[in-house]
Amino acid sequence: MSRRRRSKSKPLSILKNLRVPGRFVTWGSIFLCIFILGGGFYNMLSEQVFTVIPYQGGYLTLHPYMSDQTIYESFFVMLSNASIFLGLWLSYKSTQVSYDRTKANRFILLGIGFTVAGLAGNHLILEMKKAIFS
């Protein structure tokens, strides 16, 4: 009768047998990409994190320089990028619905709307940053 040897490191053996579902990996990588594109790591690593900037008796929520950003800018860009991704995903899902034409049309219209809204949001924030000191 053979006996199985117990490993000395029980937590490591548990981690070796751990399987993460593919959907979690997919959605996690999507959220990580949106976080990176929105400047999340830049805000975490920068020495000064701005929420508002005093300017001529008021406050700016946009950083006046194109190379810097505030927390609000990062959050808005993350929302815009998520909207673009959601729109493209809904447009893709409309091609998967072949049995219900109204549902497919609804998905494609929502997808186009979310994509255009996300692109408009990104364009808007760039135009606002250009207009601050021009």
**Average of per-residue pLDDT across 50-75:** 73
DSSP for 30-79?
A: HHHHHHHHTTHHHHHH-S---S-EEETTEEESS-SSTT---HHHHHHHHH
Look at residue 4 and tell me if it is in a domain: no
Look at residue 108 and tell me if it is in a domain: yes
pLDDT digits 0-9 by tens, 32-41:
888 888 877 7
Q: What is the pTM of this model?
A: 0.73
Residue 100 lies in domain: 22-132
How many domains are contained in the chain? 1
Task: Please tell me the predicted confidence (pLDDT) of residue 50.
Answer: 67
> What would you measure as the largest C-alpha separation in the chain, in angstroms?
84
Look at residue 41 and tell me if it is in a domain: yes
Look at residue 1 and tell me if it is in a domain: no
How many C-beta atoms surround the C-beta of residue 67 within 10 A? 6
Look at residue 40 and tell me if it is in a domain: yes
Helix (H) or strand (E) holding 54: strand 53-55
Look at residue 5 and tell me if it is in a domain: no
Look at residue 42 and tell me if it is in a domain: yes
Look at residue 3 and tell me if it is in a domain: no
